[in-house]
């Protein structure tokens, strides 16, 4: 049987800092380079959310995209215009790299979409910039 997904793009802006307290300043600088700046630096992130499920024969849709927009925005708003290290509870013990932000978003969005019958979160793709992205998908 053919497989079908539907995807929607979201955007948010956030800042972050890469730093490990258990490393010397020199080692932090060696590994993380300019990203150790104490006041952080920002990115315009682009988030692609892909949902899987059966097409409702009455609507022709997997999910109503306004529902998807509303539910995902409830998560994205927690990240938008935030200094991820300090303004969110998610990066106290892990560095807010693109990979870790994507993992965090996947878990939060998956939990949020559990409210919608029949569909599930299939994949997310998070762009930090146009040429760098991380992906997380269901396993």
The catalytic site residues sit at 35, 81, 128
Question: Which residue, 57, 63, 67, 68, is CA-closest to 118?
Answer: 63
Task: Report how far residue 70's alpha carbon sits from residue 73's, in angstroms, rounded to the nearest whole number.
Answer: 5
Question: Which residue, 7, 35, 51, 3, is CA-closest to 132?
Answer: 35
């Amino acid at each position: 049987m053919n497989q079908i997904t539907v995807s929607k793009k979201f955007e948010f802006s956030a800042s972050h800092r890469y730093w490990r307290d258990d490393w010397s300043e020199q080692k932090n600088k060696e590994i993380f380079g300019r990203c150790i700046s104490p006041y952080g630096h920002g990115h315009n992130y682009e988030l692609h959310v892909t949902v899987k499920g059966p097409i409702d024969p009455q609507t022709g849709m997997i999910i109503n995209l306004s529902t998807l927009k509303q539910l995902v925005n409830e998560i994205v708003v927690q990240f938008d215009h935030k200094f991820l290290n300090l303004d969110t509870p998610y990066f106290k013990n892990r560095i807010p790299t693109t990979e870790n932000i994507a993992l965090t978003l996947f878990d939060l969005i998956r939990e949020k979409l559990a409210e919608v019958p029949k569909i599930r979160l299939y994949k997310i793709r998070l762009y930090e910039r146009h040429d760098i992205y991380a992906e997380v998908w269901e396993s």
